[in-house]
A and B are shown apart, each in its own frame.
Chain A
Amino acid sequence: MLRLAHVTKRFGATLAVDDVSLDIGPGEIVGLVGENGAGKTTLMRMAAGEIATDSGTIDVEGTVELVHQHFMLVGDFTIAENLALWGVTSESPLPDPSRKVNDLSVGEKANLELAKAIGRNPRLLILDEPTSVLTPVETDELFRVMREIASRGTAVVFISHKLPEVLAIAQRIVVMRRGKIVALTTAAEMTAAQLAEAMMGTMPSGAPAVSAGDARRGRRALHLSSLTGARIDHVTLTVHQNEIVAIVGVAGNGQDELAAMLRGLVKPKSGAIEISGSVGHIPPDRTRDGLVAQMTIAENMALPSPRWSRAAAIRHAAQLIELYSIRARGPLQRAGGLSGGNQQKVILARELDRRPEVLVASEPTRGLDIESTRFVHAQLRAAAAAGAAVLVITSDLDEAFALAHAIQVIYRGRLSERMSAGEAASRVGGLMAGVA
């Protein structure tokens, strides 16, 4: 049906899919799970022929249809016109096909998108996060349709973040992490908690890398009380000097809003943020929010400073490049030309150089190679040792266990109680999957 052998894909310096092999048979429903950037969508776009592989082979029998996360519908056309545009002659799945797509509910649009794909009789149907916009009733209906087309011999790949759903529908589950398949099991063998752990990192086998006793805790430096916004719900949290606290969770549970609120870019609906002293920030989306790609390293490093002189900025940047072993041609190189790891080092150098009392680091090592990851971790530990209160917001469990003195899990905008790494080891999987 679909046979992937040693498929690899790079985007610039990032290895999006790394030597993946996978077989899918007719009539099978396969759940494909993994964090953002794990390579799920890239892999499936290659299977559907939307993008080329760098190496490896893909054999497909028959046609493949990929239903994207974002709707690909013409809003000003009617339901019937949209189906016709895709060459689908089968009956409309929705009543009154003369309605315009703009007037449909989100669930109806999703339904139409699905009908578009099924109408072309694919042998393999790939659904990318189809339930993210659906109500529970609509999701049940989608699952009914999926089972029906699978019973007719079409293989279905279901990409999702929502672990209970994957467990409910899929016969086989493929877990991807950092471009590789890290687990491949039947649904019956796995619990949601185990799935979450596989997605986000291996559980520590022995003692945690950092124990709660390690921190010579100083005074309270960051305190959130009942912070509430559109996607976070009564978040209460304290970070002391010399301490690293990690918030872990599957992406999309409110982490980005929390980070933006701490930066002052989003106003909380209620609750308060108390910070003593200055704050450094490492933004979650490095390419969009981290650096100004068109400007030089020196200029980027100087952006937050209260004063600016070109000559001093260049001298200072040269020192930081040396200190943080940034691989660059010099302070006047454009930031956009650096690799992801070196861009992150530039941000880290800029934020840590101000010796902030509080550091908020969101996904500080997402997409970085092992060497850069180690470097970033060492810098975060050093900052804490020097007295900073460090809050790490991450979807990488390994990272949380490697760094944090205390761990709190975020799920649907709510924060679990504070746990030591030892306590967290047994509970974190369930909390992240929302089953504990």
Chain B
Amino acid sequence: MTRFAIAVGAAVFAVVLLAIVAAMFGHDPRQLLAILIEGSVGSPFAIQGTIKKSVPLLLTGLSVVIAFRAGVWNIGGEGQFITGALAAFLAAPMGWMASLLAAAIAGAAWASIASLMRFWRGAPEVLTTILLNFTALHLLGYAVNGPLQERGAQYPQTDSVPGGAWLGTIESTDLHHGAIIALAMAIAAWWLLYRTREGLRLRATGFNPSASAWAGIRVNAQIARAMAFSGALAGLAGGIELLGVTHRLFERFAAGYGYSGIAVALLAQLHPIGTAASALFFGALVTGAGELQRSAGISSSVAVFGQAVVILTLIVFGSFRRND
């Protein structure tokens, strides 16, 4: 329960700090908070906007949960998100299911490059996954300016994916089915971690690799599988964002979802179900910040500020522990 209290405390602290900073710049913090709340959960439209933003955050958050639980520092969610989306785009003519499958496989493959570098040459995955982010980003930039650029070659973006691959919406809302997939993934991740032998061994490896090896776990294979699971979730996030929201690729497609997943997972204390709540919080922050920009002229980068405050608060108050 203390871990829960710390998480809620960090979230509240982030909002309070935002209000204080707003006051320092001469805004009325109460009015701004009202806009933030109104813009994120104040209407059915706002709530749907929040959920839509939460979907990729939940999936990249889960990706980080799986990796960090196994003790492997996958900071490469952004790159895996992009490669997932690229693969989903290429497979889209075969329908949404094949497209999402391709996204997951591509994300897993991209993450596994870091595993290979770790096992062959001992390269730390913190570095390799970050560098693979830039590689993926430039790959995307090349694709949308080159081979995948839209017909007419007017903007650096792709054509829209075929309508048949678009994710449908949940009845009487404009929420795409990716929301259901993401929620199912949260439950699946919980099941994997706490109800399967794979999850037991994954967590053991994260806590104490040498005791795990003595207990008969093949630690390297375990880490490689965790990394692949993790990459698959981030890749899936990219595929869902493409088929459910943007329908086309462009240079700034990833929009930091991969990195934000780290904040989401840390606020959730690396718990899959908590990650759903944490993703909603950050989704609301992003959506509310958009409203702040529109109605109060305050840059929506306050959402990023909020994320940073949450991460720092959690690190300082020592809840960033990997014990469950």
Chain A interface (Cβ < 8 Å from any Cβ of B): 263, 265, 281, 283, 288-295, 299-300, 302-310, 334, 350
Chain B interface secondary structure, helix, strand, loop or mixed?
helix
Point out the residues of chain B lying under 8 angstroms from A283, CB to CB: 211, 214
* Contact B214–A281 (Cβ < 8 Å): yes
The CA-CA distance from A129 to B217 in the complex, in Å, is 35
The CA-CA distance from A291 to B214 in the complex, in Å, is 9
* Contact B213–A288 (Cβ < 8 Å): no
Point out the residues of chain A lying under 8 angstroms from B217, CB to CB: 303
* Contact B322–A303 (Cβ < 8 Å): no
The CA-CA distance from A304 to B213 in the complex, in Å, is 10
Extra contacts besides A292-B204, A299-B203 (16): CB < 8 Å: A283-B214, A289-B213, A290-B211, A293-B208, A295-B203, A295-B204, A295-B324, A299-B200, A300-B215, A303-B215, A303-B216, A303-B217, A304-B215, A304-B216, A305-B197, A350-B215
Question: Can you list 14 A-B pairs, Cβ within 8 angstroms, ordered by A?
Answer: A265-B213, A289-B210, A290-B211, A290-B214, A291-B208, A294-B207, A295-B203, A295-B207, A295-B324, A302-B200, A304-B216, A306-B197, A307-B197, A350-B215
* Contact A308–B197 (Cβ < 8 Å): yes
| A-B pairs with lowest CB-CB distance, top 8 | A308-B197, A294-B323, A303-B215, A304-B216, A289-B214, A283-B214, A292-B208, A294-B207
- B194: nearest chain-A partner, CB-CB: A310
Task: Return B71 CB to nearest CB of chain A, in Å.
Answer: 11
Within 8 A of A (CB), among B17-40: none
Point out the residues of chain A lying under 8 angstroms from B324, CB to CB: 294-295
Point out the residues of chain A lying under 8 angstroms from B196, CB to CB: 308
Does B247 belong to the interface (CB within 8 Å)? no
The CA-CA distance from A310 to B211 in the complex, in Å, is 20
* Contact A289–B211 (Cβ < 8 Å): yes
Within 8 A of A (CB), among B184-240: 194-197, 200-201, 203-204, 207-208, 210-217
The CA-CA distance from A14 to B42 in the complex, in Å, is 59
Interface centre among B194, B200, B215 (most CB of A within 10 A): B215
Within 8 A of A (CB), among B144-199: 194-197
The CA-CA distance from A283 to B214 in the complex, in Å, is 7
Interface centre among A291, A294, A334 (most CB of B within 10 A): A294
* Contact B207–A303 (Cβ < 8 Å): no
Point out the residues of chain A lying under 8 angstroms from B197, CB to CB: 302, 305-308
Point out the residues of chain B lying under 8 angstroms from A294, CB to CB: 207-208, 322-324
Tell me which of B194, B212, B216 contacts A292 (CB under 8 A).
B212
The CA-CA distance from A304 to B215 in the complex, in Å, is 5
Point out the residues of chain B lying under 8 angstroms from A300, CB to CB: 215
The CA-CA distance from A321 to B204 in the complex, in Å, is 21
The CA-CA distance from A299 to B207 in the complex, in Å, is 12
Chain B interface (Cβ < 8 Å from any Cβ of A): 194-197, 200-201, 203-204, 207-208, 210-217, 322-324
Task: Return A406 CB to nearest CB of chain B, in Å.
Answer: 26
* Contact B208–A303 (Cβ < 8 Å): no
The CA-CA distance from A294 to B69 in the complex, in Å, is 12
The CA-CA distance from A72 to B197 in the complex, in Å, is 44
Point out the residues of chain B lying under 8 angstroms from A265, CB to CB: 213-214
Tell me which of B195, B210, B212 contacts A303 (CB under 8 A).
B212
The CA-CA distance from A283 to B216 in the complex, in Å, is 12
* Contact B201–A303 (Cβ < 8 Å): yes
* Contact B323–A303 (Cβ < 8 Å): no
- B198: nearest chain-A partner, CB-CB: A308
Task: Return A98 CB to nearest CB of chain B, in Å.
Answer: 33
* Contact A288:B211 (CB < 8 A) given known A294-B323, A295-B204, A308-B197: yes
The CA-CA distance from A74 to B207 in the complex, in Å, is 32
The CA-CA distance from A283 to B213 in the complex, in Å, is 10
Point out the residues of chain B lying under 8 angstroms from A309, CB to CB: 195
The CA-CA distance from A290 to B210 in the complex, in Å, is 8
Task: Return A346 CB to nearest CB of chain B, in Å.
Answer: 11
Point out the residues of chain A lying under 8 angstroms from B216, CB to CB: 303-304
Interface centre among A290, A295, A302, A309 (most CB of B within 10 A): A295
Point out the residues of chain A lying under 8 angstroms from B204, CB to CB: 292, 295, 299, 303
The CA-CA distance from A308 to B217 in the complex, in Å, is 14
- B215: nearest chain-A partner, CB-CB: A303
- A308: nearest chain-B partner, CB-CB: B197
Task: Return B264 CB to nearest CB of chain A, in Å.
Answer: 22
- B204: nearest chain-A partner, CB-CB: A292
- A336: nearest chain-B partner, CB-CB: B323
* Contact B195–A291 (Cβ < 8 Å): no
The CA-CA distance from A265 to B219 in the complex, in Å, is 10
Tell me which of A263, A302, A308, A334 contacts B214 (CB under 8 A).
A263
The CA-CA distance from A320 to B208 in the complex, in Å, is 23
The CA-CA distance from A9 to B13 in the complex, in Å, is 43
* Contact B214–A292 (Cβ < 8 Å): no
* Contact A293–B207 (Cβ < 8 Å): yes
Task: Return B3 CB to nearest CB of chain A, in Å.
Answer: 13
Point out the residues of chain A lying under 8 angstroms from B214, CB to CB: 263, 265, 281, 283, 289-290
- A265: nearest chain-B partner, CB-CB: B213
The CA-CA distance from A302 to B200 in the complex, in Å, is 9
The CA-CA distance from A307 to B197 in the complex, in Å, is 6
Point out the residues of chain A lying under 8 angstroms from B208, CB to CB: 288, 291-294
Point out the residues of chain B lying under 8 angstroms from A303, CB to CB: 200-201, 204, 212, 215-217
* Contact A291:B194 (CB < 8 A) given known A303-B216, A303-B217: no
* Contact A291–B200 (Cβ < 8 Å): no
- A306: nearest chain-B partner, CB-CB: B197
Task: Return A343 CB to nearest CB of chain B, in Å.
Answer: 11
- B323: nearest chain-A partner, CB-CB: A294
- B213: nearest chain-A partner, CB-CB: A265
Task: Return A49 CB to nearest CB of chain B, in Å.
Answer: 30
Point out the residues of chain B lying under 8 angstroms from A293, CB to CB: 207-208
The CA-CA distance from A295 to B205 in the complex, in Å, is 11
Point out the residues of chain B lying under 8 angstroms from A281, CB to CB: 214
* Contact A288–B210 (Cβ < 8 Å): yes
Point out the residues of chain A lying under 8 angstroms from B200, CB to CB: 299, 302-303, 308
- A304: nearest chain-B partner, CB-CB: B216
- B217: nearest chain-A partner, CB-CB: A303
* Contact A292:B322 (CB < 8 A) given known A303-B204, A303-B216, A308-B200: no
- A310: nearest chain-B partner, CB-CB: B195
- A301: nearest chain-B partner, CB-CB: B215
The CA-CA distance from A293 to B217 in the complex, in Å, is 16
Task: Return B313 CB to nearest CB of chain A, in Å.
Answer: 23
Task: Return B200 CB to nearest CB of chain A, in Å.
Answer: 5
The CA-CA distance from A306 to B215 in the complex, in Å, is 12
- A282: nearest chain-B partner, CB-CB: B214
The CA-CA distance from A302 to B214 in the complex, in Å, is 13
The CA-CA distance from A302 to B204 in the complex, in Å, is 11
* Contact A292:B195 (CB < 8 A) given known A299-B200, A303-B216: no
The CA-CA distance from A289 to B204 in the complex, in Å, is 12
Task: Return A342 CB to nearest CB of chain B, in Å.
Answer: 16
